[in-house]
């Protein structure tokens, strides 16, 4: 079945360390997104990519980095520069808006805790 | 003021009740999504609307573009409907960040 796989589901990181969250999709979607969810707040866009080898900053990109070397993969690195990294991270993908079967598919998320 | 406002924030109801969750937005949109998030955290897309009304099983979603308002209804609610329901709007493409703007969600609990 097609879908998005995020791993790991739970991740613990020591302060000062970088950590990379994985997101893989087999839906042949061109666009991929990373969102952050905090208690009592709506999801916020960190980075997005509409095509391989290209990505754009979202609303809260500071302290994060991404790469898009393959269509299927959009890993997110939480760097030590991110001041408050403990959160729930969701990856999503979609066809371009111009496609008739446009729609978003979400992963199951990764809960990151800094200890 | 948030661009997407949902009400109520929390809702507890008895099994079988008719449920309504509201979403108001203040920006121009190309589409509105209703999403469901279960306690495990994963999100499922329920509906995508640009006009009118859609129905899937016991779920009904409506949108009024002129009033910038959408509602999600659940008929004959069941405890398995307990989840967080999130409204999200897609801004028109061209300029700025792509993707969705999300409401804070409505936490629904259906008691047996």
User: Which residues on A lie below 8 Å from B103 (Cβ)?
Assistant: 42
> For A35-46, what is each residue's pLDDT tens digit?
999 988 889 999
Q: What is the mean pLDDT of residues A67-94?
A: 94
pLDDT, tens only, B46-103:
999 989 999 999 999 999 999 999 999 999 999 999 999 999 998 776 444 567 889 9
Report the 3 state secondary structure along A12-79: EECCCCCEEEEEEECCCCCEEEEEEECCCCCCEEEEEEEECCEEEECCCCCCEEECCCECCECCEEEC
pLDDT, position A115:
86
Nearest CB to A40; choose among B88, B102, B104 = B104
Task: Give the pLDDT mean for A4-29.
Answer: 93
**Who has greater pLDDT, B19 or B96?**
B19
pLDDT in the model for residue A101: 53
Interval A47-52 mean pLDDT: 92
Mean pLDDT, residues A88-110 taken together: 80
* Closest by CA position to A25, among listed A96, A78, A104, A79: A104
A45 interaction partners in chain B (CB closer than 8 Å): 97, 99-100
Q: Give residue B95's pLDDT.
A: 44
> Using a CB-CB distance cutoff of 8 angstroms, which residues of chain B are in contact with residue A59?
97
Which tokens belong to A11? Answer: 């991740």
Which residue numbers of B have CB closer than 8 Å to A's CBs? 2, 4, 30, 33, 35, 40-45, 48, 86, 88, 90, 93, 97-105
Mean pLDDT, to the nearest integer, of A87-92?
94
Please report the pLDDT score of residue B90 as a whole number: 85
Q: For residue A73, what are the β-bridge partners? A: A24, A70
Contact A43 B86 (CB under 8 A): yes
The string over B19-28, giving b where at least 16 C-beta atoms fall within 10 Å of a residue's C-beta and e elsewhere, is: bebebbbeee
- In chain A, which residues have their Cβ closer than 8 Å to the Cβ of B98? 31, 33, 48, 50, 56
For residue A108, what is the nearest residue in chain B, using CA coordinates? B42
Answer yes or no: is pLDDT of B27 > 50: yes
């Amino acid at each position: 079945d097609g879908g998005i796989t995020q791993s790991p589901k739970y991740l613990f990181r020591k302060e000062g360390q970088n950590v990379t969250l994985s997101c893989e999709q087999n839906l042949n979607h061109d666009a991929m997104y990373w969102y952050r969810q905090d208690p009592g707040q709506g999801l916020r866009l960190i980075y997005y990519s509409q095509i391989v080898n290209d990505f754009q900053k979202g609303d809260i990109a500071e302290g994060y980095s991404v790469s898009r070397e393959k269509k299927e993969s959009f890993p997110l690195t939480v760097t030590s520069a991110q001041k408050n990294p403990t959160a729930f991270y969701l990856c999503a993908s979609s066809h371009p808006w111009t496609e008739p079967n446009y729609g978003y598919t979400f992963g199951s998320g990764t809960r990151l805790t800094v200890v | 003021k948030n661009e997407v406002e949902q009400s109520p924030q929390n809702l507890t109801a008895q099994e079988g009740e008719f449920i309504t969750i509201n979403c108001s937005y203040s920006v121009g949109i190309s589409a509105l999504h209703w999403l469901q998030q279960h306690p495990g955290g994963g999100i499922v897309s329920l509906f995508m609307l640009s006009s009118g009304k859609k129905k899937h099983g016991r779920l009904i979603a409506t949108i009024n573009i002129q009033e910038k308002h959408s509602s999600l209804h659940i008929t004959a609610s069941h405890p398995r409907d307990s989840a967080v329901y999130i409204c999200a709007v897609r801004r028109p493409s061209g300029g700025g960040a792509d993707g969705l703007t999300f409401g804070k969600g409505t936490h629904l609990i259906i008691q047996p």
